[in-house]
Amino acid sequence: MVMKNYMEEVVVDELEGVLKSIEGACTCELCREDMVAWTLNRIEPLYVVRNLGRIYSKLEQVKYQQQASITALLTKAAKVVKDNPRH
């Protein structure tokens, strides 16, 4: 059995758009990972078992409902990491 936190996929998918809107944000792999981790630590996880296609339509609804809050959190994460880079 393979478990996956679906919210990780949602956050990673949203990251690119947020980075384009933050002037001077570092896009190195470490900073990206820090932004994703910072955001994931502030939202409720949603674990699914992979390869269950029927569940993905329901998950898309969750993604749509939470997209604004995820974008806001990622924006804050990008600013936090920009001000405190670890690289």
- pTM score, two decimals? 0.84
- Alpha-carbon dihedral sign for residues 14, 16, 19, 25: positive
pLDDT, tens digit, 9 for 90 and up, residues 10-35:
899 999 999 999 999 999 999 999 99
Beta strands in 1-87 (DSSP E): 3-5, 47-49
Residue type for 16, please? E
Nearest to 35, CA basis, from 15, 21, 17? 15
Is the model's pLDDT at 52 over the cut of 60? no
3-state secondary structure of 23: coil
